[in-house]
Structure 1
Amino acid sequence: MSIQSTIDPYTSRTLFSGVRTRRIFGFCIDVLAILILTALSSLLVFILGIFTLGLGWLLLPILWQCVALAYTAFTLGGPNAATPGMRAMGLEMRLTNGTMPYPLLAAIHALLFWFSMTFLTPLVLLVSLFSDRKRLLHDIILGTVVINSSVERR
């Protein structure tokens, strides 16, 4: 069974069952991973700042954004089409035509999420309650969908 033929939420509801809840828990796992990576890279930037007489410390204010963007771009846009948190919850991201996302799309996906949460408040997450595929606003804009990867493997 190919994912291209089963992307319709009306013919294959199992692809989207439990996606919203799993996605929230996967996000929490990813936030923890990003915090750990940011702490490690902050230590590296601190040491770099000592050797560069303080110039390296100019990276500290934007460090977490860079770490989070790289984390999302290379994991969500990678061969598994999922961040480690999404993989732990059994989720994958696909474009609506069934193809896998690429790193640039994953980075844009993360940026749209951050901007929508910043400017439209967390109420933007209510969009998933009314979406047939349990998609969020930035998923709809980019034409992506999150599915149960366990259903696809069966």
Structure 2
Amino acid sequence: MSTENPLPQTGVGISRTMTSGVRTRRMMAFVVDAIIIAVLTSIMYVVVAVLGIVTLSLGWLLFPAVFPCVALLYNASTLGSRDAATIGMRLMGLQVRFEDGASMTMLQALAHTLLFYVSVTILTPFVLLLSLFTRHKQLLHDLLLGVIAVNSDQ
């Protein structure tokens, strides 16, 4: 975990400017990340197809696991990185941090990603509604882990 605190604290915790415009940019970041995951998944499908040919169709048993593995690895490795953001979030100027400013570890980022996909699977498209009623525009998986999406330029 990072010992530095890049998030300036106010008397009440996270300031409004730190979460201003986060919801819209987070949705745009999701679209960018979905495109990146789709490209990576397509590449892995080709790899698995070739592996299936080489292993006389045994490798084709990996097809159902390709998308979940790519999505989990992409999100966990980027959210758990020093930048605390996926590539889409970086392009939109966002980071995901704990309220004390610490970034997530790889394991916490994996839990965040798993909770995201479970909540999206169950609540789609209502998963975004929760952000209308939470103080820091958090989604369900953010609340469960205690993280906040903030502007990275703060």
- Considering the TM-score relative to the shorter chain, is it more than 0.5? yes
The aligned counterpart of 1:13 is 16
**TM-score, normalised via structure 2 length:** 0.91
How many angstroms apart in 1 are the aligned matches of 2:108 and 2:6? Answer: 22
Structure 1 stretches of 4+ with a deviation exceeding 6 A read none
How many angstroms apart in 2 are the aligned matches of 1:87 and 1:99? Answer: 17
**What is the DSSP-based 3-state SS (H/G/I as helix, E as strand, rest coil) of the residue aligned with 2:153?**
helix
Per-residue CA deviations over 1:66-105 (Å, capped at 9, x if unaligned) read 0000001111111110000000000001012210111111
Matched residues, number: 149
Displacement of 1:2 in angstroms is 4.3
Structure 1: where are the runs of 5+ without partners? Answer: none
Q: CA-atom RMSD, angstroms?
A: 1.5
Structure 2: where are the runs of 5+ without partners? Answer: none
**TM-score, normalised via structure 1 length:** 0.91
Indicate the structure with greater helix content. 1
Amino acid at match of 1:3: L
How many angstroms apart in 2 are the aligned matches of 1:148 and 1:121? Answer: 25
How many angstroms apart in 2 are the aligned matches of 1:14 and 1:4? Answer: 11
Q: Is the 8 A contact 1:4 1:97 kept in 2?
A: no
Q: Is the 8 A contact 1:72 1:106 kept in 2?
A: yes
Determine what percentage of the aligned residue pairs are the same residue: 50
Amino acid at match of 2:101: G
Is residue 2:103 matched to residue 1:109? no
Per-residue CA deviations over 1:20-66 (Å, capped at 9, x if unaligned) read 00000000000000000000011011111111111111000110000
Match of 1:3 among 2, 7, 20: 7
Q: Is the 8 A contact 1:4 1:99 kept in 2?
A: no
How many angstroms apart in 1 are the aligned matches of 2:130 and 2:50? Answer: 44
How many angstroms apart in 1 are the aligned matches of 2:13 and 2:22? Answer: 15
How many angstroms apart in 2 are the aligned matches of 1:134 and 1:117? Answer: 16
Is residue 2:82 matched to residue 1:79? yes
How many angstroms apart in 1 are the aligned matches of 2:39 and 2:114? Answer: 20
**What is the DSSP-based 3-state SS (H/G/I as helix, E as strand, rest coil) of the residue aligned with 1:5?**
coil
